[in-house]
Structure 1
Amino acid sequence: MKKKEAILKVATVLFANQGFADTSVQEISHLSGVAEGTIFYHYHSKEQLLLSILRQTKDSIVHQFDEFVQGRKFDSGMHMVEEMVSFYLYLAGLMEDQFLLLHQRFLYKCSETNAEFRVCLEEIYNCLTDIFEKAIVVGQRDESVCAEAHPRKSALVLFTMVDGLVRFKNYNLYDAGALFNELMRSCRRMLQGSAG
């Protein structure tokens, strides 16, 4: 594994599980086997390291969804929405540390005073919402999704429901798997309205 990859991997796990303030560059250095000076050479500061992780997370999410959709045929836009929801939940398990990191409060505290963090988080959440919105628009075209549904607002509500289930799972608050079928029924009820 390359040094930069090792640094990012270790820092992601530590930031996600311990928090930003409780993770030292010395600890990242020790666990990644990369000298502290090398970490600062590549990332200049712990904040820049965190921003690099967030950018890599966004790129990885977009890439994973692009690969998932590529060449796949959907019966309808509603079917596409359901598949996007299912894939989001799968991806949250596959990228558990990254999603756990995205749910950490310190990121949002940083974004209150640091424009780079705010922009980065907005880009991540916008790309996730875009994925659901595109499926909703396809559904409105083929009439499997209610024409009156506002695509962006509906996508935001849908994203909030799905991401909330991921938070339940990540924090072991509830058996998220037990809610999957009800989540899908809720998505259909919300989006089909008079179209269903």
Structure 2
Amino acid sequence: MKRDTILSTAARLFAERGFNNTPTSLLAREAGVAEGTIFRHFKTKDDIFLTLIRNVKDQLISDIEKYLEVRAPETSIEKVVSIIKSFYVFVKKNRMEFSLIFRDAPTRYGERNDNVFLAIKDIYTYLGDYVLQALQEGQRDGSIRADINTRDTAHMLVSTMAGLVRAIHFQFIEPSDDLLRNVVDNCTNFLKPRA
């Protein structure tokens, strides 16, 4: 229970103030625990940050899989659309948590083998693999164009999704149902076999 309180308080403070501007003394005070309690649950402040990133990844995977289970897409192109929609909805619903990834994570890792870098890469890899699998299935079932390179297209779609939600996060563009609909329509039009 105290561990969860520390994590939720850290997520809020890191989102509001930034990782570097949140001392553990403030985190302890806001969480209603002694500073030593934080270090009984986490080795370092970086460990808290890494745990938050991993929690985002785990929740994202769970939400996408639940969304696909409920939607039960009949074709692979519908599966790609469902992945795009579920990712968009997840990020919109978890803006605070994604501020960690968009603002603080890039300053937290310096090496390609850093745990935060690897946790964020896991999110990208998961999405990319899921989209790639759907594209490959779609080429087999005829719902996806046969003339596209599925690996490159999966990277393009995931990068588009990540860039879109990043632009929304930084308020470069306003999120809307129309925006999501247009993205989905454009992706569908690109992926559908040519008549």
Do the two structures share a fold, i.e. TM-score over 0.5?
yes
The residue type paired with residue 191 of structure 2 is: L
Deviation at 1:51, TM superposition (A): 0.8
Deviation at 1:21, TM superposition (A): 0.6
Quote the Cα distance in structure 2 between the aligned partners of 1:74 and 1:121. Answer: 27
When the two structures are superposed, what TM-score results if normalisation uses the length of structure 1?
0.88
Contact 1:140 1:147 in 2 (8 A): yes
Question: Which blocks of at least 5 consecutive residues in structure 2 are unaligned?
Answer: none
Contact 1:168 1:174 in 2 (8 A): yes
Structure 2 match to 1:110: 108
Counterpart secondary structure, 1:103: helix
Q: What value does the CA root-mean-square deviation take over the aligned residues?
A: 1.9
Q: 1:95 to 1:190 in 2, by over 3 A?
A: same
Contact 2:143 2:193 in 1 (8 A): no
Contact 2:75 2:138 in 1 (8 A): yes
Contact 1:168 1:176 in 2 (8 A): no
Quote the Cα distance in structure 2 between the aligned partners of 1:193 and 1:34. Answer: 58
Structure 2 match to 1:81: 80
Counterpart secondary structure, 2:110: helix
Quote the Cα distance in structure 2 between the aligned partners of 1:78 and 1:160. Answer: 18
Taking every aligned residue pair, what percent have the same amino acid on both sides?
Answer: 26
Contact 2:71 2:82 in 1 (8 A): no
Q: 1:167 to 1:51 in 2, by over 3 A?
A: same
Quote the Cα distance in structure 2 between the aligned partners of 1:155 and 1:171. Answer: 24
Contact 1:13 1:97 in 2 (8 A): yes
Instruction: Between 52-61 and 111-120, report the one with greater CA deviation.
Output: 111-120
Structure 1 match to 2:186: 186
The residue type paired with residue 78 of structure 2 is: H
When the two structures are superposed, what TM-score results if normalisation uses the length of structure 2?
0.89
How many pairs align?
193
The residue type paired with residue 33 of structure 1 is: G
Q: Deviations over 1:77-127 (max 9, x none)?
A: 1111111111111111222212221111x4223322362222222112211
Deviation at 1:71, TM superposition (A): 5.8
Q: 1:8 to 1:152 in 2, by over 3 A?
A: farther
Contact 2:5 2:31 in 1 (8 A): yes
Question: Which blocks of at least 5 consecutive residues in structure 1 are unaligned?
Answer: none
Q: Deviations over 1:27-56 (max 9, x none)?
A: 211222122111111111101111111111
Counterpart secondary structure, 2:109: helix
